[in-house]
Amino acid sequence: MGRFDYDFLVIGCGPAGQKAALQAAKLRKQVAIVDEREVVGGICVNVGTIPSKSFREAVAFFSGFKQRNVYGPHYKIKTKIDMEDLLFRCAKIIGSEIEVIRHQLVRNNVEIVVGRASFVDQHTILVQTPSNEEKKLSAEFIVVAVGAKPYQPPHIKFDQKVIFDSDNILTMKQLPRTMAIVGGGVIGVEYGTMFANLGVSVTVVDGRKRILPFVDEEIIETLKYQMRAQGITLRLGEEVKDVSLKDDGAVLRLASGKVLVADVVLFSAGRVSATEGLNLKSIGVALGEKGKILVDENYRTSVPNIYAAGDVIGFPALASTSAHQGRMAVLNALNFPYKPNTYPMPYGIYSIPEISMVGLTEDEATSQNIPYEVGISKYRDIARGAILGDMEGMLKILFHRETKKILGVHAIGENSSEIIHLGQAVMALNGDLNFLLDAVFNYPTLTEGYKIAAYNAFNKLAAAEI
């Protein structure tokens, strides 16, 4: 290593940081990972993905959501559900994940350093430990993977009693009667549907006319129908002008003049990269809007030996893509020969019901003048759908009319984030309509939907040729 303490320093212990550190360690490099939390896992494990998805499963169980088509719309596992019931499961899963990650890092000889990092120069960081000690660490390469944090409008008082963001919403002591959610993005939709299924009266306010605009429109229409059936009020095309606290909640005044009153307010109006305090500008690392670190296709920043990966560089900001980016950053830094991944990346939204997608939407195919046909299957037509109690789910596949190649797959319903991977695999391996027509799938499974959707598209294509 010569003049440096390490080959690699990784700042941040979320999915991108973990995988960057482990990848470097697997290549026999000396690695340290620095995070201000005393527990590993980063935002993902401690306050983000793992808690929210664990909370979702607890909600789906206690609320009886998965069985309502069988036992009736008012069926519940437990009549009175409280936050303690819901968070017990979260705590167990978070603890398990922390131990798994710590074991992986220790087993691969990655040194774990607890403290807040800031850059001294392009090869050196200063770490302030929880006991206020300071130590300098240096490395040939540094990977920044500090993630992102919720955007907090400066004029809003986030007291964590009435007004929350997505990182602290699960610190509520008890379930509210009413909740206003500002922002109809992924986080707002996920938490909105979770709390609605617990009997909370939820109103979602978003300045856009359409929620989740990157998702296939037909899937979103299905989601909106189910959200309204859950009792959620959608205020789209509306902007929040002011929020004021009152004795037992908050009052939201909209630009249109409407007034909303809620026990609790969740702000989910986007996230900003957690780069504040890293001292990046002083060493020449270029930043974009909302503090995002600007990188090239190899995840290299404007400073050649410094790389960045994960939510800190922006979209798509998924745990899965962040982990992949962390690995790639290390391989690129070392000029390690590998075949770049050109496979389509899946996207999962863990609302109730789940949404997942891979590839093109209908809007994208239309804008690119790609001739396509659509095959659709409904969960209600699949035995597994009835077994799971999901009569509203659907699977939608886009095929090229001429080549019959799969262009995109979109799903809403139980386990959609799992079944999407078959579509991803077929696309990656250049498969087409004929594969799905000929393939034999286990019965009863949701994956049968691929075959039904394929026949649905085949019949349309055959009819057009007559």
The predicted structure's pLDDT at residue 66? 63
Q: How far apart are CA 230 and CA 227, in angstroms?
A: 5
- Ordered domains of the chain (ranges, CATH): 6-150+272-333 (3.50.50.60), 163-269 (3.50.50.60), 353-465 (3.30.390.30)
DSSP per position, 86-117: HHHHHHHHHHHHHHHHHHHHHHTTPEEEESEE
**Residue entry with tokens 């040939």:** 140
Peptide bond into 154 cis (omega under 30): no
Query: What does the alpha-carbon distance between residue 20 and residue 334 come to, in Å, rounded to a whole number?
Result: 12
pLDDT at 466 (0 to 100): 52
CA pair distance 143, 22, nearest whole angstrom:
12
Q: Is 359 left (phi over 0), alpha (psi -120 to 50) or beta?
A: left
DSSP result, 401-430: TTT-BEEEEEEESTTHHHHHHHHHHHHHTT
State the residue for tokens 């609605």.
196
pLDDT recorded at residue 318? 84
Q: What is the mean pLDDT of each run of 10 residues along the chain (466 residues)?
A: 88 94 97 85 61 83 67 62 81 83 93 95 95 94 95 88 92 93 94 94 96 95 95 96 91 96 94 93 95 95 97 89 94 87 88 96 97 96 91 96 96 96 96 95 96 96 77
Distance CA(399)–CA(447), nearest Å, equals 17
Q: Residues 6 or more apart from 344 whose CB is under 8 A from it?
A: 358, 359, 424, 427, 428
Give the predicted TM-score (pTM) of the model. 0.90
Q: Phi first, then psi: what are they for 26, rounded to 5°? A: -65, -25
Alpha-carbon distances of 281 from 16, 273, 278, 356, rounded to whole Å = 22, 14, 9, 37
The dihedral of CA 156, 159, 163, 164: what is its sign? positive
State the virtual CA torsion across 292, 297, 301, 305 in degrees, nearest 10: 150
216: helix, coil or strand? Answer: coil
What are the E-state strand segments in 318-371?
347-349, 355-359
Rounded CA-CA distance 243/253 in Å is 6
Q: What are phi and psi of 460, to 5 degrees?
A: -65, -45
In this structure, are residues 273 and 243 in contact, taking their beta carbons and an 8 Å threshold? no
- Rounded Cα distance between 192 and 27, Å, is 43
